[in-house]
Amino acid sequence: MAPASKLSQGIKRASRSHAYHRRGLWAIKAKHGGSFPKAEKPAAPAEPKFYPADDVKPRTPSTRKPKPTKLRSTITPGTVLILLAGRFMGKRVVFLKQLKSGLLLISGPFKINGVPIRRVNQTYVIATSTKVDISGVDVSKFDDKYFAREKKQKAKKTEGELFETEKEASKALPDFKKDDQKAVDAALIKAIETVPELKSYLGARFSLRDGDKPHEMVF
């Protein structure tokens, strides 16, 4: 059956006056004293003094925020990691925590294998199944700012000094960093010494030998 609202194409159920009454514009008009309220036109912008020659859209700055780096499930605080590249490649090292930049905070400990408190990228590291108990270690004070490079002081040199061999401020490690290292390592070494042979394990370096197949190795 054809819907009652359409007797035939183009003819509506409600007549013109019926539809007007139903819409209720008369009530709004009555409320505002006889005339329909006119919305105020927003003030037109003043004519600009300068029209650019080309229609170029200004670039909007990117609002993209990079996601925080996901930590591999095999890496948990206290895991022994093998460094794959860099100065300490092959060294087995203890993972302490992940910093806000996504880098991993590690320590040798320094006394055992010469690796200081350092940052390392996850992709240059193999996680082993060996874990060290680091509940006694306080690493809350370390963040990316701790590892920031010191700004070089650019002192103005006189002509004579320019030609002398530069005595740059020596890159000695500041004392507070040495103390931090000792503090972290003290707790670490205590935990390490409770496990038999873990100390010599951390002191030894990892290397591939003849016949080794990393794709078949379980770390």
Q: Applying CB under 8 A, which residues contact another protein?
A: 72, 74, 84-85, 89-90, 122-127, 205-209, 211-216, 219
DSSP state string for 138-160: --TT--GGGGPPPPPP-----HH
For the stretch 146-153, contacts whose Cβ atoms lie closer than 8 Å and that sit 24 or more positions apart, written own/partner, are: 147/119
Question: How many Å apart are CA 72 and CA 216, to the nearest integer?
Answer: 20
Question: How many Å apart are CA 8 and CA 127, to the nearest integer?
Answer: 77
Q: Quick one: 72 or 111, whose CB is closer to another protein?
A: 72
Asked if residue 208 lies in contact with residue 216, where contact means CB atoms within 8 angstroms, the answer is no
| Smallest separation (angstroms) from another protein to the CB of 103 | 14
Question: How many Å apart are CA 133 and CA 163, to the nearest integer?
Answer: 55
Q: Quick one: 124 or 146, whose CB is closer to another protein?
A: 124
Q: Quick one: 129 or 140, whose CB is closer to another protein?
A: 129
| Smallest separation (angstroms) from another protein to the CB of 55 | 41
Q: Quick one: 121 or 177, whose CB is closer to another protein?
A: 121
| Smallest separation (angstroms) from another protein to the CB of 117 | 21
